[in-house]
C-alpha cells in the first residue's frame, strides 16, 4: 500500500484536537504559504479551501518533485477507502485541553530589540504568548485586539507578553511597518514553535504564575482580546482553569465556516473578521436546511 503522506498545515487554523501531537509522524511534509497545491484538474487550491478538504478526511495529497528531488507542488487527490480508514483511526495522544494545568516547557528567546524572555526571568508571572506568521490572515485580523490587551497590562510587571513567529527578522520588520504589533516580537523562532508543538495559527497561550498552561486557544474568532483578558485576570488571581472552552458569549470560527449577511449574501472569512473587528456588527450562530452558519448582523 502507498504510504500516506502526513502534512503539517502550518498555514492553517487547525481544529484544536489536531494541534498537539506529541511527535511529528515520519514522512511529514510541512506546508507553508509558499507551497503550491493543485487539485485534480491542475488548478491551484487556496489554503482556506484546502483546510476544509483535508479536515473532511476524504482527501489526501502527494508530493510532486523535479528530477533533483525538489518539491514542485502537492497534488490533491481523493483518498482511497483504506486511507480514509487509516485517517479515521489515527488518534492524537494529547489534546489541547489535556495541557491545561500542566507545566509548559522551559523556554528562552530574544525579541527583535535584544531583550530576553525566559522561564527563568518570568517566574511567578503570568506569561501571554501569541504564535503567528506574516501570511496568516486570521493572525493579522486579531492584531488590533491583542494590541489593546497589551496596552491594558503593559504597566503590570506581573504580566509578560511575547509575539512569536518563525518568519525571518527582515520579513517581520517589513511586516510591522504595515501592521504594528505592540507585544515584544520574537522572529526566527521555529525552535520555540516546535518546543510548544504549534501547528495551528494563530495560537494564544496564557501561562499561570506556577509555569503551567492556564489557557490555550487556536483559531480566529471575534472577542479574542476579551477572552485573553479574562484568562489573564483569572491567572493573576490564582484561579484554576480546567478547560480552554469559550465562554457563552464567545464564538469560535475559522476559514471553513460559512458567513452570511442579513440580506443572505455569503461572505468570505476575511471580510467577516473585518466587519466584526469594526465593532459595528454582531455574530450569531444560525441554522438553515440542517446546516449551521454564522449571521453577521449590524448592531442596532
Give me the domains of the chain, ranges plus CATH numbers: 7-89 (no CATH), 97-236 (3.40.30.10), 259-298 (no CATH)
Cell of 262: 442579513
- SS3 at position 202: coil
| Per-residue model confidence as pLDDT tens digits over 17-33 | 233 333 334 445 556 66
Cell of 95: 489534546
d(CA 102, CA 282): 35
| Per-residue model confidence as pLDDT tens digits over 101-160 | 889 999 999 999 999 999 999 999 999 999 998 878 778 888 999 999 999 999 999 999
Q: Which residue has the higher pLDDT, 169 or 53?
A: 169
292 burial via Cβ count (<10 Å: 0-12, 13-18, 19+)? exposed
| Per-residue model confidence as pLDDT tens digits over 208-257 | 999 999 998 887 666 788 889 999 999 998 876 644 444 444 455 666 67
Q: What is the mean pLDDT of the chain?
A: 77
The answer to whether residues 75 and 64 touch, using CB atoms and an 8 Å cutoff, is: yes
- 6 falls in which pLDDT band (50, 70, 90)? very low
State residue 175's pLDDT score: 94
Of the candidates 12, 215, 229, 179, which has an alpha carbon nearest to the alpha carbon of residue 97? 215
d(CA 175, CA 267): 26
d(CA 162, CA 56): 34
254 burial via Cβ count (<10 Å: 0-12, 13-18, 19+)? buried
d(CA 110, CA 272): 35
Percent of the chain with pLDDT over 90: 35
Q: Which among 44-53, 58-67, 150-159, 215-224 has the top mean pLDDT?
A: 150-159
Amino acid at each position: 500500500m502507498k504510504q500516506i503522506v502526513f502534512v503539517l498545515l502550518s498555514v492553517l487554523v487547525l481544529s484544536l484536537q489536531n494541534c498537539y501531537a506529541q511527535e511529528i509522524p515520519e514522512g511529514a511534509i510541512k506546508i507553508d504559504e509558499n507551497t503550491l497545491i493543485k487539485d485534480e484538474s491542475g488548478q491551484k487550491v487556496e489554503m482556506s479551501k484546502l483546510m476544509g478538504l483535508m479536515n473532511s478526511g476524504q482527501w489526501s495529497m502527494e508530493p510532486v518533485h523535479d528530477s533533483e528531488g525538489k518539491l514542485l507542488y502537492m497534488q490533491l487527490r481523493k483518498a482511497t477507502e483504506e486511507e480514509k480508514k487509516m485517517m479515521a483511526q489515527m488518534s492524537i495522544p494529547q489534546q489541547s485541553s489535556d495541557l491545561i494545568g500542566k507545566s509548559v516547557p522551559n523556554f528562552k528567546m530574544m525579541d527583535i530589540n535584544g531583550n530576553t524572555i525566559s522561564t527563568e526571568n518570568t517566574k511567578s508571572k503570568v506569561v501571554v504568548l501569541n504564535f503567528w506568521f506574516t501570511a496568516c490572515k486570521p493572525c493579522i485580523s486579531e492584531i488590533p485586539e491583542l494590541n489593546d490587551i497589551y496596552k491594558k497590562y503593559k504597566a503590570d510587571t506581573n504580566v509578560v507578553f511575547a509575539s512569536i513567529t518563525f518568519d525571518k527578522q527582515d520579513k517581520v520588520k517589513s511586516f510591522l511597518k504595515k501592521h504594528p504589533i505592540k507585544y515584544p516580537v520574537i522572529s526566527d523562532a521555529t525552535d520555540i514553535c516546535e518546543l510548544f508543538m504549534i501547528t495551528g495559527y494563530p495560537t494564544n497561550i496564557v501561562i499561570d504564575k506556577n509555569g503551567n498552561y492556564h489557557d490555550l486557544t487556536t483559531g480566529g474568532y471575534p472577542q479574542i482580546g476579551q477572552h485573553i483578558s479574562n484568562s489573564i485576570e483569572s491567572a493573576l488571581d490564582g484561579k484554576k482553569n480546567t478547560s480552554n472552552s469559550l465562554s457563552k458569549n464567545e464564538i469560535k470560527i475559522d476559514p471553513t465556516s460559512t458567513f452570511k449577511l442579513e440580506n443572505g449574501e455569503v461572505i468570505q472569512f476575511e471580510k467577516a473578521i473585518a466587519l466584526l473587528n469594526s465593532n459595528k456588527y454582531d455574530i450569531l450562530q444560525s441554522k438553515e436546511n440542517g446546516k449551521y452558519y454564522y449571521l453577521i448582523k449590524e448592531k442596532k
